[in-house]
Amino acid sequence: MAMYYRFTSESVAEGHPDKLCDQVSDAILDACLAQDPLSRVAVETLVKKDTVVLAGEITTNSDIDYDRLVRTVIREIGYVDPSDPFHADGVRIINLLGTQAQEIKEAVDAKRARAEALETAESKSEGAGDQGLMFGYATDETPELMPMPILLAHRLAEGLAYDRRNGESWLGPDAKTQVTVGYRDNVPYRIENVLVSTQHAAGVPQGQIEAYVREALAPRILGDWYRPDVKTIVNPSGSFVQGGPSADAGLTGRKIIVDTYGGMGRHGGGAFSGKDPSKVDRSGAYFARFVARQIVEAGLAQRAEVQVSYAIGRKEPFSLYVSTFGTGDDIDALAFAQQFDFQPASIIAQLALLKPIYRQTAAYGHFGKPYLSWEQPTVTRAA
């Protein structure tokens, strides 16, 4: 008898308060790396009502106008209505940024000269920026090697943002989406449920919103997976005029499952946004995803999960684990993974992580986007 189950994942739009914070934090990271690729950045952003709070540690030679940068991000996301307490020109910005702790800096730098390029032999001794464990996951159920529920949830959220900018001006920046996929023998069989909660302008009737989602958004985004009988729920709480930071607080790093695999793959617990790649919470997770992809692309498994762990200041991984969930040989997959160099400096060099590439990861997922280096089959294995 075929095994049938349902799995649900959610996404949030770029205007969700937590996602807005992720984008501000990563915009600051990008600005630092653009001027000084060896910047050390760990930035947290908090938003509520009419206030943005920046906190964390930065060591950089960059000259950043934080006030202007924050307002630019808010404006680009779409919070520009002066009647809204939270809007780009009216927010109050509290800057509590400091410098990185000297002990951490010394453990990570490992006596390297700051002016040296990452590729020099001295830089190869760079240790992990913290202890921790990271997971990477890949599955052949979609061309992007991502779980279908989170992939479609992201696309619905992106679709809302696209439509808001291209004709559906009554849509607001804040939104959540959710997709339930029915699996038969671990293979996607059909979409069971779709849930869309979207901010909207005052006076827009519920019927108009439902018609837009059911007749325009869902069929376009879901494509061949769409069926007229898919259970679709729109704004179940009713009116959603008040949204964004004016109605709810936001904080960097609170959407780590949205950022990764929608719950289908495990998560080590460390958030990504606002952290430079010396923080293995980010770079280690990216590389674990890259290696999991290679296992699937090499035909060693249909699904693969890679776990790597680190100790602060140490360059060698603390442990490496691979599971193929019964779709391959775990021993062969582990031997394959061990051919890759998981040292932090090597990861940074292999994936070109000192470039200002991070804001594009801060909404709609850090994985499954073909233009990101860790989504490319181009990194060579260690000799």
Catalytic machinery residues: 16, 18-19, 44, 57, 176, 240, 248-249, 254-255, 275, 279, 281
Helix, strand, coil content of the chain in percent (nearest 5): 35, 25, 45
- 321: part of which helix (H) or strand (E)? strand 319-323
The C-alpha atoms of residue 372 and residue 357 are separated, in whole angstroms, by 8
Does residue 118 sit in helix, strand or coil? coil
Q: How many other C-beta atoms can be found within 10 angstroms of the C-beta atom of residue 208?
A: 12
Q: Dig out the tokens for 232 from the structure.
A: 């679709």
List of residues 6+ apart from 27 with CB closer than 8 A: 69, 70, 72, 73, 359, 362
Does residue 369 sit in helix, strand or coil? coil
Please return the burial class of 99, using the count of CB atoms within 10 Å of its CB with bins 0-12, 13-18 and 19+. Answer: exposed
The C-alpha atoms of residue 306 and residue 261 are separated, in whole angstroms, by 13
Backbone angles phi, psi at 276, to 5 degrees: -75, 165
The C-alpha atoms of residue 160 and residue 171 are separated, in whole angstroms, by 8
The C-alpha atoms of residue 338 and residue 288 are separated, in whole angstroms, by 11
Please return the burial class of 169, using the count of CB atoms within 10 Å of its CB with bins 0-12, 13-18 and 19+. Answer: exposed
List of residues 6+ apart from 80 with CB closer than 8 A: 87, 88, 89
The C-alpha atoms of residue 256 and residue 304 are separated, in whole angstroms, by 20
Residue whose structure tokens are 């030679």 = 61
Within the chain, residue ranges assigned H as helices are 17-35, 66-77, 102-109, 148-165, 206-212, 218-222, 256-259, 280-297, 330-337, 344-350
Q: Dig out the tokens for 224 from the structure.
A: 């061949």
| CA atoms within a 13 Å half-sphere pointing along the CA-CB vector of 376 | 9
List of residues 6+ apart from 229 with CB closer than 8 A: none
